[in-house]
Structure formats: structure tokens, C-alpha cells
Structure 1
Amino acid sequence: MEKRAVLFPGIGYHCDKPLLYYCGKLLQDEGYQVIKLKYVLPDLDIKNNHDQRMVLFEEACLQVQAQLCQYDLNDAQELIFVGKSIGCYVAAKQRVQTYKKAKLLLLTPLIETLTMNIDGAVIFSGLEDPWVNPAILRQKAQEQDVKLIQPHGNHSLEVKGNYHGNLKRIEEVLDALKEMM
């Protein structure tokens, strides 16, 4: 059985950072071929600028399409996309446009991700994430069929100085991913 998974990183949060690294390890252990994506993106001020964020998202989407065309993802019997930050938007857009059967695990998505059909997705977003308003995210998530998990944590789902809690949040992400398989 062909099982494939794609890791969609964020800006500065590549596939060797804890959340994506351990997701990739779990997926490999479960027999998935894991594809780790990379982007080369312009340095834009995207935090409070929706238009600049969209430019960045679209550039990342173009680069991802060029990378994914090397794989027969639609032939896979199981397909999971794991996105982090801007990678959530890119993963969701790929599912909407091309890979309809992909399951989505979205780690700290930006709010634009929820403008697409992400039904069935599992979302983790820290309550102290400065990139998204937790109440607005909760409202948008309620409009779709998604599972939203909002632990304490920043944009990396971490709380400064709480190492055991940070490891526990990684474990919670891995438990949710295991449940998706």
C-alpha cells in the first residue's frame, strides 16, 4: 500500500524543527514516504500586511507545485499533508486544487488558511500565538468541519521555560497525527 506524506514548512521553521521533525519521524515509522519541501521566498513584511502575505503564499505555492510534480501523490492510497504556519495555507491550497484526498494536519496556521475548504483538518494553534487572534481562529474553525486544539503556546506551540510542557505539546500533535492515520 502506497502511503505518502508531505511536510510543508513555515518561514524559518524548516522540516528539521521539532514539530515537523517528529511528525516526519512518526510518519516514516508508520511506513509513509515523507516528502520534505523547501521554499526560497522574498523577505517581505507579512505580519500585519495581508497583501504581502498573499504574495508570499502564492510564490510558495508555485515552488511547491514544481516540487510535487515529481511524485504521484494522487496514486497514493493514503496521503497526509502536515503544514506549519504559511505551509498550512500552501498545503490547504494544494488539497483544494489537486490532492483532494489529502488529510490535513495544520500547525499554527495563519487566518487566510481558513478561507479555503479545510473540512476534516486537525488544527493546532497556540493561545499566545502573536500571528493569529485565537477568538477569530475559533470562530472561523466553527464554520468548517475541523478539529481545533488551542493549547497554551506561541507560534511554535512553546511556552518559554516550560520544557516539559513543550514536549507534551509535541506529543499531543503526534497523537493527533497518529489518529489521522
Structure 2
Amino acid sequence: MGKKICVVFPGIGYHTDKPLLYYSKKYMMAHGYDIVDVTYGKLSGHLPEEIQKVFDDGWNKAVDCLKNVDFSDAEDIVFLSKSIGTAISARYVAEKGLKVRNIYFTPLEITMQYANSNGIAFHGTADPLVNTGEITKLCEERHIPLYRYEGGNHSIETKDILWNIKTQKDIAEKYIDYLNF
């Protein structure tokens, strides 16, 4: 039986101690996955104005971060990613030719330039960085199920803490079902 690897690609200000990544990472650890955290350090540029600059910088840092990870004998690889991390993870899969199951939290439109159909995505309809209609169309074209949360921001949250908790539970149920342990 090969090893199981889960690589976590955070967003710029959305680190692994925030709900979407915190709970999904905990779930993966509880199911025997070796966790690899991608770290970017300080990224140059700001979203959305300088998305290409941020993406290129994050890409280079992620490749460096993963250079010693041996995916060759992995029985299962899961990439958890958030925001700009979704684009970096999708490009990594495309360029390295890996067989990966992707969980995209708040993917950006640039993500879909690289994404294959092996994944699911989650999006808040009040996300100021992403057009809901556009991300819906792009996910449909790639056969990636997209779960939309009405009124959720780029963290899929609102001012209503009970909505946030209920939404986190719904998101977790959907990615657990996708992973189908």
C-alpha cells in the first residue's frame, strides 16, 4: 500500500489556520495523509490588479517548496487549495502530469486555464475577486462541480456566524463525499 499525500496551497491572506483549510487539512490528517504545506513567504503584488505577478511569484515559490516531494509511489494525492493557490495547484498538476484529486476553495478565473476535470470547487456569490457567472461557466466547461454559497465572500463567509458554521459543515460534507473514504 502506497503513501497518501495531501498538498495544501493557501491563499495570500488565507492560511491553513482559517476554517476552509483548517478543517479540510485536519480531515486529511485523520485519514492517514502526509500533509505538505506550500508556503509562499511574502508575495509581490496584490489581487486582483496584479494577479499575473502574484501568480508567477507564488508559482516559483510553490515549485521550490515541492521540489523534494516524491509523488511517484503515492497511492492517492489530494490538493487542497484556496484562491491564488487554486491556480498554482492546477498549473502544478498540469505541468507535472500528476493524477490528483483537487478541492478548489474560491478558485479564480485564472485557475481554469490549467484545471482538469478531476476536482470540485466552492464559491461565494459575493466574492469581489470572482464573477459568479464566469466561474460557473468555466467550471461547467471543465466538468468541475461548483458549489455556490449565496452571499458568501471570498472566504465563503458572511457577517452571520451561524450561517458561516452551517456553511462550513455543508462544504465539509461535500468534499468528504467527493473524497469518498
**TM-score normalized by structure 1?**
0.92
RMSD between aligned residues: 1.4
CA distance in 1, matches of 2:46, 2:128: 15
Name the counterpart of 2:165. Answer: 167
Pick closer, same or farther for the CA change 1:77–1:144 going to 2, 3 Å.
same
1:126 and 2:124 equivalent?
yes
Name the counterpart of 1:35. Answer: 36
Name the counterpart of 1:113. Answer: 111
Deviation at 1:180, TM superposition (A): 3.0
Name the counterpart of 1:178. Answer: 176
Counting only pairs closer than 5 Å after superposition, residues 13-92 of structure 1 correspond to structure 2 as 13-47=14-48, 49=49, 52-92=50-90
CA distance in 1, matches of 2:168, 2:31: 17
Name the counterpart of 2:154. Answer: 155
CA distance in 2, matches of 1:172, 1:7: 20
Name the counterpart of 1:142. Answer: 140
Letter in 2 for 1:41: K
1:24 aligned counterpart, secondary structure = helix
Verify the 8 A CA contact 2:128 2:153 in the aligned structure 1: yes
Letter in 2 for 1:8: F
Letter in 1 for 2:31: E
CA distance in 2, matches of 1:77, 1:175: 23
CA distance in 2, matches of 1:77, 1:42: 32
Deviation at 1:74, TM superposition (A): 3.2
1:73 aligned counterpart, secondary structure = coil
1:74 aligned counterpart, secondary structure = coil
Pick closer, same or farther for the CA change 1:117–1:17 going to 2, 3 Å.
closer
Deviation at 1:100, TM superposition (A): 2.1
Aligned residues: 177
Verify the 8 A CA contact 2:100 2:118 in the aligned structure 1: no
Runs of 4+ with >4 A deviation: none
Letter in 2 for 1:154: N
Identity of aligned residues (%): 30
Deviation at 1:30, TM superposition (A): 0.8
CA distance in 2, matches of 1:125, 1:75: 33
Cα deviation code 1:128-175 (max 9, x no counterpart): 111111011111111111101001210000011x21221122122222
Verify the 8 A CA contact 1:14 1:38 in the aligned structure 2: no
